Amino acid sequence: MIYLPESFAKFFSRFVALAGIIMWLSLLNFKPTFAQTGAGGTKSLFLGVGARALSLGNAFVALSDDPSAVFFNSAGLDFVEKRSALFYYTNLIFGANQNYVGFVYPTLDIGSFGVAWVRIGAGGDIEERAPGTGELGAIFDYGENQFLFSYGKQLRSNISVGLTIKLQTLSFSTQNLSDSGVGADLGFLYRPEWEMSILNDLSFGLNIQNIITPRARLRERTVNSSPLNFKIGLAKPILFGEESNKVTFLFDLNKSENAPAMYNLGLEYSFHNQAMLRVGVNDGLIAFGAGAAYSNFHIDYTFGKLFDAEDFSANHRFSVTIDIGKGKTERLRLVQEKRERDIRISVDNQLWFERETEFNTNMEDGREKYYKQDFLGAYVDFNRAFDAAETLVEVAMRLRGENSEDMEANLRVETANASLQESQTMLELTNVKSDSARKDEYRRIAMEAEQSTLEKELRDFILQHREKGTAFFKSGLFARALNEWQLALDRIKQNDGNHLPNWMEEIRVQLENNIQMAEKEMEGNIQEAIRRADALARRGDYVQALAELNNLRGTGISELERQELENRIKSMQSQLSFQQNFEEGVRSYENKDWKRAVEALERALKANPKDAKARQLYEDAKARSLATVQEMPPNLRVKYLRGFELYRQGNYEGALDIWQQLLKEQPYNKTILDAIDRARDRLKGKQ
């Protein structure tokens, strides 16, 4: 025994009931009131294509969402998601058959294109009969072809138009007769956006076939096998629970030139977009069908009669549709990702150029000072080059990403690593040379200064403060280095009247040069420290930014610079307070701890009252902390249910828009707030 899922069994029973209604209407031989019974008119031989459309009674003008749209309504082409092809073949009567091959190519911005070939023909075994006597004559074949070239474009999200140019050919082998003609179809599709749920997702279609009529002449007689024809259609899907479970009602009116109007009815039930059941009525002729979809393949089946003729029996027909490649939605997402990736690469390339220039400049300056034995100045330049090289490594790794086969990216990574190694080597070498030079000088000075106790004390004091200054300078603490060197220089100046040893004059010159260098570096260092702090603050690292600024306190800066420094520290302390409280508020908000979220966000707003996001979260949390279940007036209740319908369809953005409008009327209504939270959670999960 086979057990069907409960949801499928329920929907199948509904489908059978609805199909029964359509069959009952057909048995009543329902006709439109304006049909001209008995009028002798003309009809095209090309009545329909594709097993899906035929199983829906050819009521396809307002749907047209597969490659058969080239035939039924070219305005539907731009609603086709993927490039796809449809193949269809069926036997007709007396050895005749019908073929259809259609292909749709949707683009991202200029609309969608379609081509198709449809043929009706009989050949090889049809014998002419003489009028009156019925004598057999020659064997002949007959063929009629249409080559269709279509274009469809959405003018807005819910309105599209389409145009089909077709080349029609006729051939009659007995007398070697053939001719061709050119015609055109014009299509429209409109899917209005109405507030009433019962009217939502309605689709209206119009296809004016043969607005330019293809005419072919066989000898002296003009054959017009494709008269002017109007098709007006309506489609209405009804969802059951999930968006992939739905029943679609279809209705078409078809009025051909000099012929009575006819109606088409169709009903399609779709289960998870994988299995479909269909029933249709084509001017009183009943058809049944089914469909299955797996991966990029769709197989459709129908059983029924195409023509109301005694010699024409019902038969089985199949068509196959193949989807090719990615859909428009996926392709748009990939295009957007590529655009964002190109922007990031462009920014990183610019950063690479800037840091590469900075690295080369500092390395060149450092080498020049190194060979002049200005090891302290060289140390500063090599240290800057090292910082630039670290950035080069980070940028190179980002640019290479996971593509380890990119030779150019690998070369850039190697270049960055080599630059980092070169600057580090020169930095270490300069440090060693600087220490060695100072030690040699210390030994030389010590030997000369041992002559007296005063000289020894003077030597210890000066050298001690000079060493401290050098250490501070290497650490980037230029103000403290300046203070130490100035103490040593002042001590030398205090002994100007006394006999000074030879080494002291050299030390004086060095100290004066070092002080000038520290003052110069300190001017740039203050701005550099402020720049680093600002960069850290922009990344949200206010703790480290404050540490950078606090290091400048107590240094030898001007009063104006000190005031600017204090203002920046105060501003960043406020931003830090805002960030910490805002993050706490967000965590509490996500955990639905509304009271704690209100308190944290209130503190954040005291630090930054103009932050719109914090203000919005505060208002939301406050509303939820005070929310109660309230009765909604009828007009609000209608809008609430409209939002719920969109929510069921998976249109969470539309539902949110409606419910947020209702919140302006009842800001503390717990029902509305809970609905908004559910929609946001679904939207977040979907993203």
Which two tokens mark 248? Answer: 């679609």
* Burial class of residue 117 in the structure, from the number of CB atoms within 10 Å of its CB (0-12 exposed, 13-18 middle, 19+ buried): middle
In terms of average pLDDT, the best of 149-163, 168-182, 402-416, 440-454 is 149-163
Residue 72: predicted pLDDT: 93
Which residues lie across from 278 on neighbouring strands?
268, 289
**Position of tokens 């990119």?**
406
CB 67 within 8 A of CB 47: no
Q: Give 72: exposed, middle or buried? Use CB within 10 Å, 0-12, 13-18, 19+.
A: buried
With contact defined as beta carbons under 8 Å apart, do 372 and 513 qualify?
A: no
CATH-assigned architecture of domain 6-31+47-127+136-323: Beta Barrel (2.40)
The per-residue pLDDT of the chain, averaged, comes to 80
For the ranges 232-246, 465-479, 482-496, 546-560, which has the lowest average pLDDT?
Answer: 546-560
pTM for this entry: 0.54
Residue entry with tokens 């719920």: 644
Q: Is the pLDDT of residue 470 over 80?
A: yes
- The pLDDT-based confidence of 83 (bands split at 50, 70, 90) is very high
Q: Where are the domains of the chain?
A: 6-31+47-127+136-323, 326-437, 627-687
For the segment 220-255, what is each residue's pLDDT rounded down to a tens digit? 554 555 788 899 999 999 887 666 688 999 999 988
Q: Report the length, in residues, of the chain.
A: 687
Confidence of residue 94 (pLDDT cuts 50, 70, 90): low
127-141 pLDDT per residue, tens: 555 555 555 555 556
Q: Look up residue 396 and give its two tokens.
A: 């190179």
Tell me the pLDDT tens digit for each residue of 390-444.
999 998 888 888 777 778 888 888 899 999 999 999 988 888 888 887 787 777 7
How confident is the model at residue 187, as a pLDDT? 95
- Write down the residue that tokens 């210390």 correspond to: 442
**Pair 281, 26: CB distance under 8 Å:** yes
Q: Are 278 and 63 in contact (CB under 8 A)?
A: no
- 266 vs 219, residue with greater confidence: 266
- Cross-strand pairs, 317: 302
The token duo for 326 is 């990615």
